[in-house]
A and B are shown apart, each in its own frame.
Chain A
Amino acid sequence: MIALGQQIENKFLVAVNKKSSNNILDCYQCGKCVSTCPVSSFMDFSPREIMQMIKLGLKEETYMANSMWFCLTCAACSGRCPREIDIPRVMESIRHLAIAENINPDDPRVKNIRKFHEIFLDMIKRYGRNYELRMMAEFNIRTRNLFKDIHLAPKALLKGKIPIGNEKVKSAKAIKRMFEIAEKLEKTQ
């Protein structure tokens, strides 16, 4: 059972609204996002339910859900939302807020998703683009699943789907600086 009414101010709602530059109160619970979303059936709570939970200020419950980690940010939902809420942005915002408060859902898959995100960003930071072979290797090492999808490797390599070397982008330095600025901004916020 959810207890309401003790606190008048809904700090969680304010935080999400601020972070996402949206107003969750705009949501009138029509559910169009849920039927649009390709992965809503895998989520603990559908995007519509997440919106209502934010409205009710249910921070813990929202952070513990796998929903925002499963969101593909494909933006099919926001393209069809009658109240024009940028739902992927909201999902992304609560991901950031959850990381900042260091709350992780129980769903073991979320850990892998988080690692994937981290490795991916690390690649961009280092090379300015995704170095796929290294990305795969690192992901398999860090998730302790060394031989995951290994049977696909020969075929993919032969067909040239995974380049062995890595082309550096011209402005890799500029991209690195972007990361530094972003990190600095995050700290000052």
Chain B
Amino acid sequence: MARVGVFVCFCGANIADFVDVPAVVEEAKKIKEVKYAIDYKYMCSDPGQGMIRDAIVAHRLTSIVVAACSPRMHEKTFRKALSDAGMNPYLLEVANIREHSSWVHQKDKKAATEKSSDLIRMAVAKSMANEQLHEISVPVTKRALVIGGGIAGIQAALDIADARIPVVLVEKSPSIGGKMAQLDETFPTLDCSQCILTPKMVDVASHPYIELLPYSEVLELDGYVGNYKVKIKRKASYVNFDTCTGCGACWQKCPVKVPNEFNMGIDKRKAIYSPFPQAVPNKPVIDAEHCTMLIKGKCGICAKVCEKGSIDYTMQDEIIEREIGAVVVATGYDLWDPKPYEEYGVGRYKDIITSLEFERMVSASGPTGGVPVRPSDGKIPKSVVFIKCVGSRDEAKGIEYCSKICCMYTAKHAMLLHHKVHDSHAYIFYMDIRAAGKGYEEFVKRAQVETAATYLRGRVSKIYKKGDKLMVRGEDAQIGQVVEVEADLVVLATAVYPYKDNSDLARLLGISYDKYGFLSEAHPKLRPVETAKAGIFLAGCTQAPKDIPETVAQASATAAKVCGLFAGDTMLKDPMVSTVNTDYCTGCQNCVTVCPYQAIITEEIPLGHGSKEIRTVAKINEGVCQGCGSCVAICRSMAIDLAGFTDMQIINEIVSI
């Protein structure tokens, strides 16, 4: 015999002002199964929970209905109260009489009171079909996969590994370091990027808990939180890393010259190359697209000069597998291609460069030895125009969002220009100066006052050539007049944009992404490092534009999440998951298609008892299922039921009113 207890909350004035709570309690007492009903000012408080605990014991209640706020708010709180009284926590039902009644019917107290009673009646009816549920225990493989070896991936890998959890770090290029390795100095302190990054890179390579896989890509991810299997392609480097000492004889002798990606194509690298002198690992790879030995079978110089015999032209791509429990995606960002800005003469004028090209030029280890030069004639520029928001905040030609870092690095560029070329002058066209961060506003002031950079408020309308100069026309809104700057060099602060293949990776991992290709977090405020898929986390610019301090902070936050996930040998999971009744399942696999978490697979079972013929049915992986109910809704044969929200429970609710 069911014995239901109903607990109605005032929620201070939130409910009581618009719902006649005592009347609701009286109405609840009229329900046959309700053996006990009471109200209280704050049911979630300790005395409120105490009332529930005491009533369970005193009135031998078999299920509990709490009429209060949204279950999102306090379902866990009340479940715990049930557990404390020795009752299965899933025998709780929450009737949401705040968001669903008092808040939305503030003008009609009578109707709100009636609706609240109805909601309680439904909850009581549903609770009649409630079953005892138990949390699912899932085993955990305590190893993390970090995709991307930029500063985000490096920081996440180091933090996880320092907690003695093994990490597999996959990087697609020959060296870790990412974009940060290309930078010269960093705002707002102007400390050298290499000096703060390279020690971390070395730490990664030498860490006993990190398996570094450079020149590799993730191909496939199977499984579910705590129990993923990943397939990784190790691209053929044609160099045996075990024997190579990184002496450099091979790339000194290689006759093939290719534009150097690391230096933004300003200078050339060889077909066998290590991207930069501080690379980790400092081993070369052969670029198969350009190596004449691999294309035509002629040359082989590198093999001849290699004393260790490390060159192997027959090397093939290798596919390896790893078992992991969690994934950190830290694939970083690319720069938006400013080609649509035809009015700027992008592509036509050589002396228009992007900010990363400028960054490489002013870098002490850069292709021009730390001095900016005009690509057209190699002269040192005196008058340099920096244009911010190229692509950013431009719905017509670019993207809607603000790239966040350009204001700061442009101020930095003005300073660096001044440091490297003393008799130069920087003109900065801007729309707003967004300098929100510790020490950032002060940094911009330094650029304006000490460096005396001229800030002109306006978007550049066009750039044209006059002699060997570039004429940059824009408005200075501060005096309301059009200005035209005669420039030797123009630097475009192009927008931060995700890599082209970021969305492919997202599909491969089964996580969502936005219209640009940035990966989506589970909640913009409260779950900023998790994805909607359990066990997959985000760090750095793969989620949205970020600067280095923010990226490092997010990477460490991600590491904390991974460590939390791996804290026990098993994980406990909500038991509200779908189950398949294989007797009804027709194997149509509509549920497989509709499941947003890839939690449904198919299995083959005998057609009948002892039968040798087989048929295909759906199988739900409890570890992955998030209990969304999509499969229940799409199932034509009503073979799937969701624990906690069974068909019987729902029907009971509907019938009760």
A residues bordering B, Cβ < 8 Å? 1-6, 8, 10, 23, 25-26, 28-29, 45, 48-49, 52-53, 55-56
B483 interface neighbour in A1, A6, A28, A29, Cβ under 8 Å: A1
CB distance from A124 to the nearest CB of B (A): 36
Task: List 3 A-B pairs, minimum CB-CB distance, nearest first.
Answer: A5-B486, A5-B485, A5-B383
Interface size of B as a range: 20 to 34
A residues near B482, Cβ cutoff 8 Å: 1-2
Pairwise interchain contact A2-B483, C-beta atoms closer than 8 A: yes
Write the nearest CB–CB distance from B487 to chain A, whole angstroms: 6
**Min distance, Cβ B433 to any Cβ of chain A, angstroms:** 8
| Known A29-B478, A45-B479, A53-B479; contact A4-B485, beta-carbon cutoff 8 A | yes
- Tell me the bound Cα distance from A8 to B383 in angstroms: 7
Name the distance in Å between A148's Cβ and chain B's nearest Cβ. 35
Binary contact readout B470-503 vs A (1 if CB under 8 angstroms, 0 otherwise): 0011001011111111110000000000000000
Q: Does B449 contact A (CB under 8 A)?
A: yes
Q: Which of A23, A45, A56 is in CB contact (< 8 Å) with B449?
A: A23
Verify if B374 is at the interface (C-beta below 8 Å from A).
no
Give the distance in Å from the alpha carbon of A133 to the alpha carbon of B483 in the complex: 50
Residues of chain B contacted by A25 (CB below 8 angstroms): 448-449, 452
Q: How far is the CA of A48 from the CA of B424 in the complex (A)?
A: 26
Q: Tell whether B586 is near chain A: CB-to-CB under 8 Å.
A: no
Q: Do the beta carbons of A1 and B452 come within 8 Å of each other?
A: no
Identify B425's interface contact among A8, A45, A48, A49, CB under 8 A.
Answer: A8
Q: Is B427 an interface residue (CB 8 A)?
A: yes
The reply to whether the CB of B141 lies closer than 8 angstroms to some CB of chain A is no
Interface string of B437-460 (1 = CB under 8 A from A): 000000001001100101001000
Interface residues of B, Cβ cutoff 8 Å to A:
382-383, 385, 423-425, 427, 445, 448-449, 452, 454, 457, 469, 472-473, 476, 478-487
Query: 17 A-B Cβ contacts within 8 A?
Result: A1-B473, A1-B482, A1-B483, A4-B427, A4-B484, A5-B383, A5-B425, A5-B472, A5-B485, A5-B487, A8-B423, A25-B448, A25-B452, A29-B478, A45-B479, A52-B476, A56-B454
Q: How far apart are A49's CB and chain B's nearest CB, in angstroms?
A: 5
A55 to chain B, nearest CB (A): 6
Which single member of B423, B449, B454, B480 contacts A4 (CB below 8 Å)? B454
The number of A-B residue pairs with CB atoms under 8 Å apart is: 59
Most buried by B among A2, A3, A6: A2
Contacts A52-B476, A56-B454: A2 and B481 contacting too (C-beta < 8 A)? yes
Known: A2-B482, A2-B483; 11 extra A-B contacts, CB below 8 A, are A1-B481, A1-B483, A4-B454, A4-B483, A5-B487, A6-B383, A29-B457, A49-B480, A52-B476, A52-B478, A56-B483
Q: Which residue of B lies closest to A52 (CB)?
A: B478
CB <8 Å contact, A4 and B382 = no
User: Closest Cβ of chain A: how far from B544's Cβ, in Å?
Assistant: 28
A110 to B378, CA, bound (A): 51
Q: Give Cα A79 to B385, complex, Å.
A: 35
Which residues of the other chain, A, contact B479 by a CB distance below 8 angstroms? 45, 49, 52-53, 56
Contacts of A3 in B (CB 8 A): 483-484, 486
Q: How far is the CA of A29 from the CA of B445 in the complex (A)?
A: 12
Contacts of B385 in A (CB 8 A): 5
Which chain A residues border B448 with CB–CB below 8 Å?
25, 28
Given A2-B482, A23-B449, also A55-B383 (CB < 8 A): no
- B424: chain A residues at CB < 8 Å are 8
Q: How far, in angstroms, from A137 to B460 measured CA to CA in the complex?
A: 55
B473 CB to closest chain A CB (Å) equals: 8
B349 shortest CB reach to chain A, Å: 15
Between B454, B479, B487, the greatest number of chain A beta carbons within 10 A of the residue's beta carbon is seen for B479
**With a CB–CB cut-off of 8 A, which chain A residues contact B457?**
29
The smallest beta-carbon distance between A105 and chain B, in angstroms, is 17
Which of A4, A5, A6, A45 is the most central at the interface, judged by chain B CB atoms within 10 Å of its CB?
A5
Across the interface, A55 reaches (CB within 8 A) one of B454, B484, B485, B486, namely B454
Q: Complex Cα distance A49/B424, Å?
A: 25
How far does the alpha carbon of A1 sit from the alpha carbon of B481 in the complex, in Å?
Answer: 7
Q: Which residue of B lies closest to A53 (CB)?
A: B479
